[in-house]
Structure 1
Amino acid sequence: MQINYFANLWRIFMDPIMFSDTETIENDFACLRIREGILYAVYKPGTVIDLKKARQVTADRLRLQREKNYPVFVDLREVTRVERAARHYFAHEGSILLNAMAVLYSTSQTRAIVNFYIDVNVPVIPTRAFTDQYSALDYLKPFTR
């Protein structure tokens, strides 16, 4: 699982097609980076996102954004679970300074988490789920400035 995470992180953060020099913020459960007008949030293996983690990643994200609005690419492929309070927080207060969201998933378990988030929590920003990172990025491009 750890090897898969680092392979995903490498593809997303270091792919020569997508690489640019920007600041990265990393905490115990996620890495955040802004590239070419898109904010990337990649969660670490086995992460269970509770309300405390949702608030922490939002605070880190806002610090990185420096009061600018961005679309966000969220890689949930390694997440184990997102608790109800965290989903609600992300769908509402946790969406400040975001204008669209693309969520990347790879398993039926993660797909269920994402579908539940979109259908039940009803995010305040346009949100779609993807199994392919390039399709997700294509979706977000119109939201960049």
Structure 2
Amino acid sequence: MKRDYAAQEIEFPQAKLQWSAEEEGVLELYFEKKLKMSLEQAQEYYESLCKMAEAQEKNIFIYIDVSNIGGISAEARKYFAKAVNPRSRACALLVGSGISRILGNFLVGFNKPPIPTRLFTDKEKALQWLVEWQQKTS
């Protein structure tokens, strides 16, 4: 499928990627409730966010809402742990209770992301943390 990476938003069958309306330069990724993410989906989402940042010549400060996710395959977790783009700067993960918190702790604790990554339960605090990283790296 041909995508317009210069757009403000890209919709996938089970996810949405968009530039934040609240904070300049932050990409937001949302998943449908109970999504069980495959390696192929992980690759598609990551490739798209990299291309969106490239199209607007911006670094990648990504907010990912995993609060509703139903799971992520081991292959997808490994992919995210190793996926790094020269534009990648920081990642904030919004977790809820239950599986998303376990998943978030696993991603951050065991997979050791290549960029600063932190878990949040509040979107506003997550976005503020990303803005602080923007200021540190600009």
Same fold (TM over 0.5): yes
Find the counterpart in structure 1 of residue 4 from structure 2. Answer: none
- Between 84-93 and 58-67, report the one with greater CA deviation: 58-67
CA contact (8 A) 1:70 1:143 kept: no
For 1:128 and 1:61, the matched residues in 2 are separated by 18
Which residue in 2 is equivalent to 1:40?
28
**Counterpart AA for 2:89:** N
User: Aligned partners of 2:25, 2:9: CA distance in 1, in Å?
Assistant: 14
* 1:68, distance to aligned residue in structure 2 (A): 3.0
How do residues 85-124 of structure 1 correspond to structure 2 at under 5 angstroms? 85-93=75-83, 95-96=84-85, 97-124=87-114
Aligned length: 123
More helix by share: 1
Runs of 5+ consecutive residues of structure 1 not aligned to the other structure: 1-21
Matching residue of 2:11: 26
Identity, % of aligned pairs? 29
With structure 2 as the length reference, what TM-score do the two structures score? 0.83
Matched, 1:49 2:34: no
Distance 2:88 2:29 in 1: 12
1:74 aligns with 2:64: yes
Matched residues in 1 for 2:28 and 2:122: separation? 15
State the Cα distance separating 1:49 from its structure 2 match.
1.1
Runs of 4 or more above 4 Å deviation: none
Q: Any stretches of 5+ residues in structure 2 without a counterpart?
A: 1-6
Equivalent positions of 1:126-137 (< 5 A) are 126-137=116-127
